[in-house]
Amino acid sequence: MEAFQLLSRGGARFDKKRFQKDVSLFSKEPAKSRPIERLVDGELPGELDYFKYAAGGSGKRKADSEGVAKALKKRKVEEEEEDQDMEEDEEETEADDTPSRPRQRVVAKGSNIPSHTDTFQELVERYQMSSLLLSNLTTYGYTQPTGIQSYGIPILLESRDLAAISPTGTGKTLSYLLPIMSSLGAPSSSANSDAGSGVRAVVVAPTRELAHQIHNECLKLAQGRKWRIVLFSKATAGTLADKATRDKVDIIISTPLRLVASLRSGGLELNNVRHLILDEADRMLDSEFFPQVEEILAACSHPNLQKAVFSATLPAGAEKMAMQMLKDPIRVVVGLKDTPLPLISQSLTYVADDPSKLPSLLTYLAQPYNPPVLIFTSSQPRATSLAQELVLNGVSNVDCLHAGMTKKEREDAVSRMRKGESWVMVSTEVMARGMDFKGIREVINYDFPTSVQSYVHRIGRTGRAGREGKAVTYFTDDDAPFLKAIANVLLQSGSTVPEWILKLPKPSKLKRRQMGKVKRAEIVNPARKVGRSDAIKKRDMVAGSKRRVVRETSKSDTNITAE
């Protein structure tokens, strides 16, 4: 492993000049005002109207396309009905982010919704936010609140519970950190603190790396104040066993299991916690994490506990759980739920089978590309071996990161990434959520994501804070059953999908057949055949012009955005 890392750092093949030339060649200036096509109700932008392709096709294909059209329509209708359902207050506006960013629809739903704010300054007058916080915001370049910030911050400052759904890279972290720090007032170490003793705010996130990143953000905001903000880890758990020390802690940022371990050992009390935040809420509420979250919830016994959940994705089941957990919550949705940012240009690339992936990737990396590139694989061993393969094939500055590595290895990998030393980072789902590497221009899904949520979060590592991004997803014949779901995500966020994908049998049908509701021998094979023959046709086409698939899907999406 060490040898591998040395190799990957390898200076020998490192040709910086050539590399820089390549980069400048390919890094086009980000369009200042990107043309945005709005979705008008009941109407699709021409580029999205792929149904027209189906017109001359077979009945089957047409039916499928109509199915998709219906699904899209249905979703719209649902959203509208949802809006109409509300007897309580509702606010809907176009939140204007910084001029360079696309406007995104913000829908706030709930009782007595506090009005949003267009500036951070306003918070000083309205909520007596300290001017120190304001100046820290300015120092770190937060000039104007994003959609989720302008709505979420007042809600949290008015002590309301909140479920916030906002796309990747739109500033969710600040949306909860700022109100927490503002309403905590004086650090509990100060003499005139009347806040009682013990930890007063807890932020829970699913990975160490993310917790670490949130901690860093928190420290920035806290500059100039004697807050005690603790990133929970093995080391800090020891010190916190001392009650006197523990009582001076203001904010804890932790992964759930770490927190639960401390609760169980009796080394930690959360009975004075006033603010509890679940970041990446859908992940925190899934079957693996939820029992731990429940334990944390139970330990937060203060009657004035404020709870809030944040995520870019919140499937119906998770949302229900969240809403049950929250008290008289306000639900804020920015953009369209479970949909990536339109700034990310997405494409699907067919690679017949697993062995064909590596050559495709190598071909891709042999050409000028925009580093750093983040590559996702489906397992830790696959991440490791892919990274090794890339190094063996002469790719420079390859790095690897997964949860099987030691804490130190992980930290080092992240810091190399932050410093821009990694050009190619191979990783697993650990990196899928929340991580904010500003420079990432491209995400490659080497292994197909296992859910729509995973896809949305993975590609959300690029296109952050108003920048453009690119996401390529490899798929094989085996991925066919899940291809359509992802293809719909592309469509909804304004990227185009090769028309032939729509000919694939519906996932439900495939699955039903695989489950053997009908005789296997009869059904499974024909089902496979349908998928295969399409795939083979496509393969032939690809063989004829290797890059066409990529071209096809990515060319036209440069100018299309949708909400």
Partner DNA sequence: AAAAAAC
Residues that bind DNA (CB under 7 A): 206-209, 233-234, 255-258, 261, 286, 288-289, 378-380, 382, 402-404, 428-430, 450-451, 453-454, 507, 511
209 versus 563: smaller Cβ distance to DNA: 209
Would you say 361 and 193 are in contact if contact means Cβ atoms under 8 Å apart? no
Whether omega for the bond prior to residue 35 falls within 30 degrees of 0, making it cis, is: no
Say how far apart CA 551 and CA 560 lie, in whole Å.
15
Nearer to DNA, 133 or 386 (CB): 386
CB 97 within 8 A of CB 167: no
- Which one, of 263, 194, 251, 262, lies nearest residue 221 by Cα? 251
CB 15, min distance to DNA, A: 32
Q: How far is CA 52 from each of CA 47, 166, 499, rounded to the nearest angstrom? A: 10, 32, 10
Element (H, E) at 140: none
Q: Least distance from C-beta 400 to DNA, angstroms?
A: 11
- Minimum Å gap between C-beta 451 and DNA is 3
Q: Rounded to the nearest whole angstrom, what is the least distance from the CB of residue 534 to DNA in the complex?
A: 21
CB of 44 to DNA, least distance (A): 27
- Which residue shows structure tokens 């109700």? 41
Q: How far is the CB of 206 from DNA (least distance, A)?
A: 6
Q: Report the relative pairing of strands 398-401 and 424-427 from DSSP bridges.
A: parallel
CA distance 332 to 322: 13
Q: Give the containing element (helix H, strand E) for 231.
A: strand 229-231
Secondary structure element (H or E) that encloses residue 377, with its range = none
Q: For DNA, which is the closer residue by CB, 124 or 297?
A: 297
Is 247 within 8 Å of 193 (Cβ atoms)? no
d(CA 324, CA 200): 23
Q: What share of the chain is helix, strand, coil (3-state, %, to 5)?
A: 50, 15, 40
Shortest reach from residue 354's CB to DNA, in Å? 14
Nearer to DNA, 160 or 246 (CB): 246
- Residue entry with tokens 């910086």: 16
Closer to DNA by Cβ: residue 224 or 238:
238
DSSP type of residue 259: H
* Nearest-approach distance from CB 177 to DNA, in angstroms: 20
The tokens describing 401, both together, are 């990161």
Report, in angstroms and rounded to the nearest whole number, the Rg of the chain calculated over CA atoms. 24
Q: Would you say 370 or 454 has its CB closer to DNA?
A: 454
What is the residue type of 258? R
Nearest alpha-carbon partner for 218 in 234, 206, 201 = 201
Give 172 or 433: the residue with its C-beta nearer to DNA: 433
SS3 state of residue 168: coil
Residue 167 CB, shortest distance to DNA, in Å, is 19
Residue 405 Cβ, how far from DNA at the closest point, in Å? 9
Nearer to DNA, 113 or 284 (CB): 284
Chain centroid offset of residue 406 CA: 24
**Nearest one of 11, 60, 113, 3 to 333, comparing CA atoms:** 113
Which SS3 state, helix, strand or coil, does residue 272 take? coil
Least Å distance between CB 450 and DNA? 4
Give whichever of 261 and 530 is closer to DNA, judged by the CB atom.
261
Which one, 402 or 484, has the nearer CB to DNA? 402
Q: How far is the CB of 232 from DNA (least distance, A)?
A: 7
What amino acid occupies position 175?
S
Nearer to DNA, 161 or 280 (CB): 280
Structure tokens at 164: 């916030």
Burial 235-259 (b: 16+ CB within 10 A, else e): ebbeebeeeeebbbbbbbbbbbebb
Rounded Cα distance, 347 and 450, in Å: 17
Q: Which residue's CB is nearer to DNA, number 6 or number 257?
A: 257
Per-residue tokens: 429: 């789902």
Question: Rounded to the nearest whole angstrom, what is the least distance from the CB of residue 539 to DNA in the complex?
Answer: 25
Select 150 or 311, whichever has its Cβ closest to DNA: 311
